[in-house]
């Protein structure tokens, strides 16, 4: 794990604590993992470790499920959002590269 990660992204929370924080059962949390909606870290012992960002994501998923949204629809939405974020990141890097080239700056 990188030390440069924000505290929200460090995977340090056990599934039991996540269950208490979210009100979801451990089985529900594992189901969302099976459906590839959440990706806990799996240390050598095999236990799952989650981040605060994962807890927020699980709450968002649970709210959508409660509103009648299917897991495959949530996954599609997450994929679209990730693609958009990736495209924006690439665009930002390209613009920064053009600015650096214009002004003779190096990264």
Do 44 and 23 share a structural domain?
yes
Statement to judge: residues 41 and 93 lie in one domain? no
Considering the domain architecture, whether residues 1 and 38 belong to the same structural domain is answered as yes
Report pLDDT for 87. 94
Q: What is the pLDDT of residue 4?
A: 78
**Whole-prediction pTM:** 0.76
pLDDT at 53: 96
State the residue range of the domain holding 80: 70-107
Q: Which residues of 13-50 are buried (b: 16+ CB within 10 A; e: fewer)?
A: bebeebbeebebeeebbeebbeeebbebeeeeeeebbb
Co-location of 64 and 95 in the same domain: no
Token duo for residue 3: 């030390």
Claim to verify: residue 64 and residue 76 sit in the same structural domain: no
End-to-end CA distance of the chain: 25
- Write down the pLDDT at residue 103: 87
Residue 46 has what pLDDT?
86
Domain CATH for 23: 1.10.1660.10
Across the chain, which has 107 residues, the per-10-residue mean pLDDT values are: 77 96 97 96 92 97 97 96 93 92 78
Together in a domain, 7 and 35: yes
CA distances from 84 to 2, 57, 98 (A): 25, 18, 21
* pLDDT in the model for residue 3: 62
Tally of structural domains, the chain: 2
């Amino acid at each position: 794990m990188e030390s440069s990660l924000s505290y929200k992204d460090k995977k340090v929370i056990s599934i039991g604590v996540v269950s208490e924080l979210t009100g979801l059962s451990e089985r529900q949390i594992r189901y969302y993992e099976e459906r590839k909606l959440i990706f806990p870290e799996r240390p050598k012992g095999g236990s799952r470790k989650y981040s605060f960002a994962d807890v927020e994501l699980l709450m968002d998923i649970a709210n959508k499920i409660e509103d009648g949204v299917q897991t495959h629809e949530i996954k599609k939405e997450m994929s679209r959002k990730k693609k958009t974020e990736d495209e924006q990141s690439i665009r930002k890097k390209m613009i920064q590269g053009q600015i650096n080239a214009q002004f003779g700056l190096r990264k």
